Chain A
């Protein structure tokens, strides 16, 4: 069983479109994250949710809107996609109070 799963694995879309990436974890964790890995492999946190509440928002453009319908899911919706949004997006989860995060396989987003 995959602990943290993301869909889709690959996403190719045109500039200006709106797209969503879904993430689910079956570890029973309270906290979920979105990280962005750019073309140079640099990883940076975007958002974190704890029990469906936003707790970290790292100066991400308003076009990015995370949604957590329950604590096992954290989806990422992106409006008006731009070329610079092309990256690999990783979802992760951790148990509140734990320092260890578990990552999904990543979603490679390509905006053309």
Chain B
């Protein structure tokens, strides 16, 4: 079945450092891809998405490009802030019977220090 693999955390960075969180997927067809973020004590929020190959999703300084050839959707940010500390989930959408469901990776915890 479809699956998502993320780099294990925690990822610890200093403020203003460059961030990459790797995400690869296995899927039949061409699913939509997502990054969700979970801040401490809060629910999941959609960070960005991409629906087809070569699409770039971006939001709040974060970017990810849908790479069909490498089946990847790596999350990047040029300069992280302490407020970016959270757990980041890569996910794909599959549609059994025409209804969407999300398949999540294991999550990567990011800790940013001043």
What is the interface of chain A, defined by CB distance below 8 A to chain B?
31, 33, 35, 40-45, 48, 50, 55-56, 90, 92, 94, 96, 98-106
| Contact digits for B32-74, partner A, Cβ 8 Å, 1 yes 0 no | 1000101000111110010100000000000000000000000
**Secondary structure call for the B interface:** strand
Known A41-B109, A42-B107; 8 more pairs at CB < 8 Å? A35-B102, A41-B107, A42-B104, A43-B102, A44-B104, A90-B44, A101-B100, A105-B43
With A99-B49, A100-B46, A103-B43: A45-B106 Cβ-Cβ less than 8 Å: no
Query: How far, in whole Å, are A101 and B38 apart by their CA atoms in the complex?
Result: 14
Q: Please list the 6 inter-chain residue pairs (A to B) with the smallest Cβ-Cβ separation, ordered nearest first.
A: A103-B44, A43-B104, A105-B43, A41-B107, A99-B32, A99-B93
- Does B25 lie at the interface of the complex (its beta carbon under 8 Å from any beta carbon of A)? no
Query: How far, in whole Å, are A69 and B9 apart by their CA atoms in the complex?
Result: 40
**Secondary structure call for the A interface:** strand
Query: How far, in whole Å, are A44 and B102 apart by their CA atoms in the complex?
Result: 8
- Nearest residue (CB) in A for B96 is A56
Query: How far, in whole Å, are A35 and B38 apart by their CA atoms in the complex?
Result: 14
- The one of B36, B49, B99 in contact with A31, judged by C-beta atoms closer than 8 angstroms, is B99
- The one of A96, A99, A105 in contact with B51, judged by C-beta atoms closer than 8 angstroms, is A99
